[in-house]
Structure 1
């Protein structure tokens, strides 16, 4: 191996060479990153919103340490701001960010800057000219309009509003004022009775309100152009001792101490429109401009109404953003420390060049710190983007949830009140008719059925109104001292006849002879009516319902126990939620009774819980406090138990418990009926009604749930099925899909009955291959005619399949499989005649053969090609419709699968020698 040894001279030579290289490298001009000078002219900087904007700008600029930042505060003076901008231009800047104090006075200097080729980013407030590079800020008009829309949706009756505006010449004040006016314009009941110039400050707003203090007594609401003026309005109202019910709304919704979010949470104001500062977005837009990237000239920031429904969510989000921002600041401190280390290392490398190893180490460290610096910057940018995305998603979700909730509550309240009058007007005449001794049995039964269901509907309406009053209108109780044992005994007495009829053991167990507590008679009786009637729904004949009452300490405990079907733990955790329905498979309710029960118990400062074991038992436990120390003076009221009032309420509760067994009229001496019908319905009254009406002409089979309906269909094979959509165990849609997919029952017509009347639900029902979809309440003659037509159509279709092909066109079909093929082929085409895009591939796929096999089979068995057969079937169907139906020519065109009426007329005339119109005239003549 060739070896050589380095002499000291060679080592010195190498070191000298390295030294010279390093000196040369150290002396070489390194390319410095391009630096920019960005100036920010603020109209006024002493309020929280402006301080938040400045903090966002500085935080975002901290990601760009090479940028020189110039900041000026005009302190609310337009002339001062003009001078400051011109002074910054004289210093030499690369980009100007400006928040104009007033639109008109600042327009000239902004245009001067823009015309000099210096990019201008206008933030928050606009000028009267479009001579700027980009605008960043919320749409003040939209903020005002959103506030007006919120006033319209959140208030009722005539509303007198005082509007506290910002500085009259500022663009936000102008836009917000116009937007608010347009927002309330559709509601003629809302009037702006006064406008005050608050000049964006709390002190000015308070002074202006004190000037009109005599007019504030007739004011219902105040809209201030920012939160500090709104807070000032609340302070004035409190000082004048005016009602706290005056609705106050502001704009900004800033986080942090003294911000709008804190005001809403503390109920200093009722609501605020979120007005983002846009500081971060302005800096990001500025750098895109400086980097020659494409930008939008107008960048509108998203806004949102924040009130008590979403303030907690927004506060949590802002806290999270603040925490992330602090993390960023800490990272920046670390970055600055790393940069300092890097500079120190570079100095050492340039001055102490003794060994090559040390140079390599320091060089490696410098490279490492540079890479880590870039990684941290990229990580911080990614976190900022993620936070912004999450914030926007939360805003969207909150807005959608608020709109949906408000719409549902308004609908239910309004419609419930409207139901009472027509129900009362129906109940009175029916009561009179029932007293008529001349009624026959059928008439009497129909009237009793109507009477029963009116009472049920009246109970549901009353529950809905009571729940609305308690949950949303914050109704108070009127409690008085009464013996609760007497109340429970009176309620139980009203259920005795139903308990005796169904052989149910209904009893009250207590060792107390008397137990006096404070409760509201008009509310607490509904609790026991709900719980006992609920127990009756789920207890079978021969069961038991026990009420246990005992007292311990300052509490009375009442247990309502039954040995019914029970429920799972999952259902038990949700049973008190409004509109929740446990899937017991035996009974259905509105999902409102237990929710109302819980609210009433809470109004009495008590509690209610439930324990249940599936298929064994259910126990509802109520705990109510003794004495009156827990009640306020407004909650106390003198009243006594009225047995007559309790009996009147009882009628509404046990009406739905009186179930008549479904029976088919005896037909021992009648001739057998040609057709049979299966009725699947879980409502016993409706099942009895349909059975009675249809049994006169058809043989009737019945089932009360989806699974039983499918089994009955397989066993009885009826000629037609009528099924409800909402059924225990299996829905009517699932029933239709299974029966239509089974060769044993696929030929049976199915009629679906449902209360889901929307077009989407009807389309979903028809997708299950149901033959008809009727919405409740349905017209009985229409149902009977639908049944008749479906049965006749099946008979016509059956005859049609065996006689539709002329003798000269048909070959003998002797084999069973060939007959099945003909029936499948003809049936598929008949079902799809209206599909103008029907083709050979669709038919081959439906029958389960290849395209070539289909051509050959049809040619061999029918003596014609597929296209001619489809065309002949369409023309024959058209002749039938022209002769027997009253549809227009255009409707028949699309019913038989032609694309246009002109093409249909041409083909029809070529086949029959006359147009469809002429053919119809010949038939009628």
Structure 2
């Protein structure tokens, strides 16, 4: 059978590999480009739109965008994530050169080409750079400001976040040019690329020096923030503002120049579409330039209208391209789907051919396996036949003297019961050996083409019969048991073992029985015995599962369990204790050992009550108590306290609240405390009454009613029995 299973697994994996190859041949290899932007400002949104245009211009290219929102650590995580997703190339605009450099180096050293866009890193580990010449931008802006100020005045430079290479390079170019104009006093502060941050900076600077004549913002947002701060104090017309980006749109650089808010804005070129072209040159091993500077110029009042018109035209064309390429994407998806369907059809035809050939191969192999199985079965039969012949001699020597001994008579009931058990098991052994011999003769008369699987298994058949017989012999002696006797539950699928154990225990304990774990669990919940003795190997529910369920049930978790089994290995003992067993005794066992172990466990239960009630009615559980039992006592006490004044309180009602029957509640409380639930509630009522007598001046009869005594005189009687003094004398004292 193992050979057949191996054939099935081989068949599955071969078909899976074949299918993968066919699908791989049907699908087109797509190039994946990952784009990690340092932020999501309007300038970078424009870049992303242009990258999408570049994607449309190249076949089978997918682009994945992510933005770090000026958080360098977040950008490092995003770059690592893109690398793990197996992108073919990375385009990175670093937020902070120092922080982002290690992530770019990791990608580059893994063989992934990296294009730095707009900004650089503190390393030479990149494939190409695309961006403006930020040093030259700084110089151009400085020359423009110097010309407007006539070589004299005060200029404030609001730079971007520290650590960004454009910030350092723009500042370098700006200061290099300003050295040629000593008449212009220049100061520099770092902003955060945002309007709000620049507004606060400008407000502080104006408060310290209201004579600022020009502001150079490293982007249009910072220049706009400075303009708003100046406007707030009525100085927006006295100061010249210059920004960088030169984007179209409301409140962007070109618009602000047109409206006269800015003197100029340097168009910081985007040209995102050339990034995809450069990426494809790199991936296709074609020639490319490692450093690529983008040309640009200033937008001033003289050319702002023309630049805006050109940008609007470009945006209109870009929108049209988006619509066109969206339709193209839809058509390409349909084409790919149809291609996959065609490939799948070819695969199905090929699969049918392979299956036909494979089924013929499996048929031949099964025939070989069947012949081998029949050979093995014959060898087993011969082995058991030989063993049965060898067993007949010792069985004869046992069965003969035993029958002779029984025929003599003169035994008491217990002795006769023991002899009957021996006789039944000897008969069973004789029956088994005879069955094995008879089984050989069934096999010999079978035809060669008989399916071996139709022959009954001797061991399975015998076990099934024994389980069926014993399942009909569940015995529950019908806790009326003497309350002074502890109840022992025996759980074993062998009726003779149960009978033998009952003969050992019945003199000192009230014994109930079950033939499997499922019935044992039911009896344990119904009768709540003082201790359980259980076999391990049983049908329906084995002893380990039975023990686990006993220990997990609120009703039975306190009951000690002794596992009585032939499993004697140390690992098997450990397994028994792991399932909650309190004791583990192996067969063959000593009757004295079992009796002593049971008495010891029950004695310990009597000595260590898991939750005793003190004079105030509070639970005072010992340090070694079971937490589940302590919780149960607490729940019982809380439920009782809620009904303490109820003179008609019934144990059925209290048990219902605790999801137990009256009998289960009685036996559980009795086992844990040594007292009945009624006794405990009476003590709680008397303790409450004692407290009220000592701390209030209410009438005794009213107190009696409040603590649940319908008759005040009975309260007085119980009170005196409990405390040795009646309520009236207590108050006088």
Task: Tell me which interval the TM-score lies in, with the shorter structure as reference length.
Answer: 0.3 to 0.5
More helix by share: 2
* Larger Rg over CA atoms: 2
